[in-house]
Each structure stands twice: as structure tokens, then as C-alpha cells.
């Protein structure tokens, strides 16, 4: 019998492999990854500086340890270059492997703005352990760090850098931080809280060319302000990795298209995690991939099971000012906000006046279970 083959050893790939073994799949299992296959929790990358963790401390298990735990073959440093859905084969290096079922868990990649200037190529993004290792090394020699992108990841890195004693500037066109997930009052509360710890916000503007200046960088913002920094981090979002699937003729839209069973448009090929668009939704977070891995493992063990998502609030790791949000599924409806000195409580009601989202900041985050209960009523 040919193996179940998983491409990718991020949280999606490894969680699925663990789930398969937990559900007593006893057949052969092959994981193929472009990287070193270390098992780690990606969300910790934006809180690791303040905890003084390097890549070794973040590594929960090596590929060898995972291979032994999972009773699997793990091919590291092996980018897959082609999939032949008709032949049921994948190609990496000079190897062509035949699979029984194939799972694409190939993740997402940081969006790179079309930056100009002689320093543009040196702007960093952090989306995996190696990126973090490089970033951490450069941060050691940096006093001031500029972050392009005041979204969730940008704010988490700002929080981590502030706690590590760095000066932090945050630049972006948004009117308030994390504007795609938070209503204005909550975003302003975060802005104020991080400012009180030293963050300097340059909102409603964008950077110009990134020029080298001494040992650091300089950019003139569109609003005319000149900013300098020793290091620049770009955190403007991620996009699903889809080229491999596209080349293989799979349907790709906002990710690799799957149905509720995580089946792609090709027989015996599934997609899971950041790379997938499940029933039209790309959800690049841990909770959806956990739910997906569980359902997919059950399907691969012989009992067809569609993924069902629980209520999945997002805990934003701005530890200086915590936030929990359950973004509403639609833009229709309205927010009802209760600000207080200790934090913001916001409830979102849809067009039918049904509670369909919430936000809690600061001390109000202790009310998470109350809000989840209200949602489930
Ligand atoms: C800094 C940061 C903080 C975050 N914080 C949170 C949080 O607090 N809560 C939350 O829910 N989510 C958070 N997220 C998002 C979450 O971490 C991701 O949704 C999740 O880790 C994605 O896992 P994945 O396995 O789908 O993708 P990835 O981790 O990107 O893994 C993709 C894998 O595919 C491999 N690969 C890609 N192409 C190929 C190829 N051609 N051949 C072979 N291998 C290939 C890669 O080498 C890698 O092993 C955060 C993300 C970041 C960057």
C-alpha cells in the first residue's frame, strides 16, 4: 500500500500526522518539507524575544524525534517541485514518490510590499524559525526598530520589542491598529496602551523608499516625517502558498480550494492549514487547522467527516494590553461598545440583531467565557 503523504511540517502537517496516529492509522506515513522539519509553535515567534528564547529553545522536537514519535519518514530540505494528480506522484529532488492520499499543508508566505530604495532588500519578515533566528540576531545590535504594518502580527512584535527594551515605531495607512479585526474604540485602546509603553505610531501614512543610513535605515513617510531605525520589520500579512497546487491543475482562489471535507478539486488530494480555502474561507490561525486536522484524520482513517468549527476567538498576544476578539463573519450589523477605565467590551450584532462577534481588551479579557456563553445562547 502506498503511503499517506503530507507536504509541510508546520502545525498543520504535524498536527494531522499526530491525529492520524492517535486515531490508530497504522499504514505508512511520509512527510516532506522544504525546511528542517523542526516542530515548534509558530505563534510563539512574536513573544519569544522578551522571553529570551532562541530557535533552539523554541524547538519542541527535531525532525528525527518527530519521525520516531510518529513512526513516519520525514524528508527534510526537500521542496516538492511537482504533483501529478493522475499518476498520484510527487517529485522532490530526484525522487518521485507515489502516494495513496496526499495532503497539502504548505502554509503561507509573508506578503512583500514593492519597496524601493537601497535598503529595501534588507527589510525583514518573520514567518518561520529561521526568519526568527535571523531577526533575533539583528535585534541584539538594534536600539530602534521600525515595523511596517500595524496589524495583529505587527502589534505583537511591537509589544515584544518594547518588552525587550527597544524603541519601536509602527507605520501604516490604517486609522487605528489591528483595524481589520477590531472596532475603532478597541484599536484606539491598544494604540494608547502601547504608546504609554513607548511605542511611536505613524498611522494614516505609508513609508517612502527605504534608504541605508549609517548602520541603519531612513525613510521619509508620505506625510513628510522622516524616520530612522536600526532595523525594519515588515508585517503586512501573509498569503497562502498556492503555486504548487496551481501548477498541478488544482483549483485555487483565496487559497487552495477545498470543500468542507478538505478535499481539493483533484481526487485523493486534500489541503489543510494556512494554504487552504475551506468552503471559500481562508483562516490562517491555529484553531481552524486543529479542527481541520481532526476531521481529516477521521476521513483518512475511513470515516468521511466534514470539519466543524467551534467558536474560535483570537487571543492577540499584546501582553502589555491583552485583547481577545471574535471578529464577526460579515461587515453588516453594528458594534455596541462599553468602554471603561480597565478595558473595552464590545459586542457585534448582525443585521438580524443577533450577537455574532465580540471584542475584549485589557482587564475586560477576563469576561471571555461570559461572552462565549452569550454567543451560544
Ligand atoms: C508571528 C506569528 C504569530 C502568530 N500568532 C498566532 C496566534 O497567536 N494564534 C493563532 O491562532 N495563529 C497565530 N499565527 C498563525 C499560525 O501560526 C498559523 O496559522 C499556523 O502556524 C500555520 O501552520 P501551517 O502548518 O498551515 O503553515 P506553515 O507553518 O507555514 O508550514 C508550512 C510548511 O510547508 C512547507 N512547505 C511549503 N512549501 C513546500 C514545498 N513546495 N515542498 C515542501 N514543503 C513545503 C514549509 O517548509 C513548512 O514546513 C501566527 C503567525 C505568525 C507568523
Q: How confident is the model at residue 289 (pLDDT cuts 50, 70, 90)?
A: very high
Mean pLDDT of 224-245: 97
Q: Which CATH number fits domain 112-234: 3.50.50.60, 3.40.50.2000, 3.40.50.720, 3.30.70.20?
A: 3.50.50.60
Q: How confident is the model at residue 165 (pLDDT cuts 50, 70, 90)?
A: very high
Q: How confident is the model at residue 154 (pLDDT cuts 50, 70, 90)?
A: very high
Instruction: Specify the DSSP class assigned to residue 3.
Output: P
Which residue in 115, 6, 132 sits closest to 70, CA to CA? 6
Residue nearest to atom 27 of ligand 1 (CA): 107
149 Cα to the center of ligand 1, angstroms: 19
Task: For residues 181 and 360, give the distance between their C-alpha atoms in angstroms, rounded to a whole number.
Answer: 12
Contact between 369 and 315 (Cβ < 8 Å) = no
Question: Of the ranges 11-15, 108-112, 336-340, which one carries the lowest mean pLDDT score?
Answer: 336-340
**Which parts of 170-321 fold into alpha helices (H)?**
184-196, 243-247, 286-300
Record the cell numbers describing residue 246, joined without a space: 496551481
Distance of CA 187 to the CA centre of its chain: 20
**276 in ligand 1 pocket by Cβ < 6 Å?**
no
C-alpha distance across the termini of the chain, in Å: 48
Query: Quick one: pLDDT at residue 186?
Result: 94
**Which parts of 71-140 fold into alpha helices (H)?**
129-140
**What is the CATH T-level fold of the domain 322-376, as seen in this structure?**
Enolase-like; domain 1 (3.30.390)
Q: Where, residue-wise, is CATH 3.50.50.60 in the chain?
A: 4-109+238-300, 112-234
**317 in ligand 1 pocket by Cβ < 6 Å?**
yes
Q: Where, residue-wise, is CATH 3.30.390.120 in the chain?
A: 322-376
pLDDT digits (tens, 9 = 90+) for 293-317: 999 999 999 999 999 999 999 999 9
Give the dihedral sign, CA 133/136/142/144. positive
Mutate to test the pocket of ligand 1, among 48, 106, 255 (most ligand atoms within 8 A of CB): 106
Place of cell 505563534: 43
Query: Quick one: pLDDT at residue 376?
Result: 78
CATH number corresponding to 4-109+238-300: 3.50.50.60
Mean pLDDT of 237-252: 98
**244 in ligand 1 pocket by Cβ < 6 Å?**
yes
37 Cα to the center of ligand 1, angstroms: 12
- Mean pLDDT, the chain, rounded, equals 96
Mean pLDDT of 129-158: 97
Mutate to test the pocket of ligand 1, among 107, 131, 152, 241 (most ligand atoms within 8 A of CB): 107
pLDDT digits (tens, 9 = 90+) for 34-71: 999 999 999 999 999 999 999 999 999 999 999 999 99
Query: Quick one: pLDDT at residue 341?
Result: 81
Query: Quick one: pLDDT at residue 145?
Result: 98
Mutate to test the pocket of ligand 1, among 7, 8, 127 (most ligand atoms within 8 A of CB): 8
Please give, one letter per residue, the 3-state secondary structure of 191-215.
HHHHHHCCCEEEECCCCCCCEEECC
Kind and range of the H or E run holding 227: strand 226-229
Amino acid at each position: 500500500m502506498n503511503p499517506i503523504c503530507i507536504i509541510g511540517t508546520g502545525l498543520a502537517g504535524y498536527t494531522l500526522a499526530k491525529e492520524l496516529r492517535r486515531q490508530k492509522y497504522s499504514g505508512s506515513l511520509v512527510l516532506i518539507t522544504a525546511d528542517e522539519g523542526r516542530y515548534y509553535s509558530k505563534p510563539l515567534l512574536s513573544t519569544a524575544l522578551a522571553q529570551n528564547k532562541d530557535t533552539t529553545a523554541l524547538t519542541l522536537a527535531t525532525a528525527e524525534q518527530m519521525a520516531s514519535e510518529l513512526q513516519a519518514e520525514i524528508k527534510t530540505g526537500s521542496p516538492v517541485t511537482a504533483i501529478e494528480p493522475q499518476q498520484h506522484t510527487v517529485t522532490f529532488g530526484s525522487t518521485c514518490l507515489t502516494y495513496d492520499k496526499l495532503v497539502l499543508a504548505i502554509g503561507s508566505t509573508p506578503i512583500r510590499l514593492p519597496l524601493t530604495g537601497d535598503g529595501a532588500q534588507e527589510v525583514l519578515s518573520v514567518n518561520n524559525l529561521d526568519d526568527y533566528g535571523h531577526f533575533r540576531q539583528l535585534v541584539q545590535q538594534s536600539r530602534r526598530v521600525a515595523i511596517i504594518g500595524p496589524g495583529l502580527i505587527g502589534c505583537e512584535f511591537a509589544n515584544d520589542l518594547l518588552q525587550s527594551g527597544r524603541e519601536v515605531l509602527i507605520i501604516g495607512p490604517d486609522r487605528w491598529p489591528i483595524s481589520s479585526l477590531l472596532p475603532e474604540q478597541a484599536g484606539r485602546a491598544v494604540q494608547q496602551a502601547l504608546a504609554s509603553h513607548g511605542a511611536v505610531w505613524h498611522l494614516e501614512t505609508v513609508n517612502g523608499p527605504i534608504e541605508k543610513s549609517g548602520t541603519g535605515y531612513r525613510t521619509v513617510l508620505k506625510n513628510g516625517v522622516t524616520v530612522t531605525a536600526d532595523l525594519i520589520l515588515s508585517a503586512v500579512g501573509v498569503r497562502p502558498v498556492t503555486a504548487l497546487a496551481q501548477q498541478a491543475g488544482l483549483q485555487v482562489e483565496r487559497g487552495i480550494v477545498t470543500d468542507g471535507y478538505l478535499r481539493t478539486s483533484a481526487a485523493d488530494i486534500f489541503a489543510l492549514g494556512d494554504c487552504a480555502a475551506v468552503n471559500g474561507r481562508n483562516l490562517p490561525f491555529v484553531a481552524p487547522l486543529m479542527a481541520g486536522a481532526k476531521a481529516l484524520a477521521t476521513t483518512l482513517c475511513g470515516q468521511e467527516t466534514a470539519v466543524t468549527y467551534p467558536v474560535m476567538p483570537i487571543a492577540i498576544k499584546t501582553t502589555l494590553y491583552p485583547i481577545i476578539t471574535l471578529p464577526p463573519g460579515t461587515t453588516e450589523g453594528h458594534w455596541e461598545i462599553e468602554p471603561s477605565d480597565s478595558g473595552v467590551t464590545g459586542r457585534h450584532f448582525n443585521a438580524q440583531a443577533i450577537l455574532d462577534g465580540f471584542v475584549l481588551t485589557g482587564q475586560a479579557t477576563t469576561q471571555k467565557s461570559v461572552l462565549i456563553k452569550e454567543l451560544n445562547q
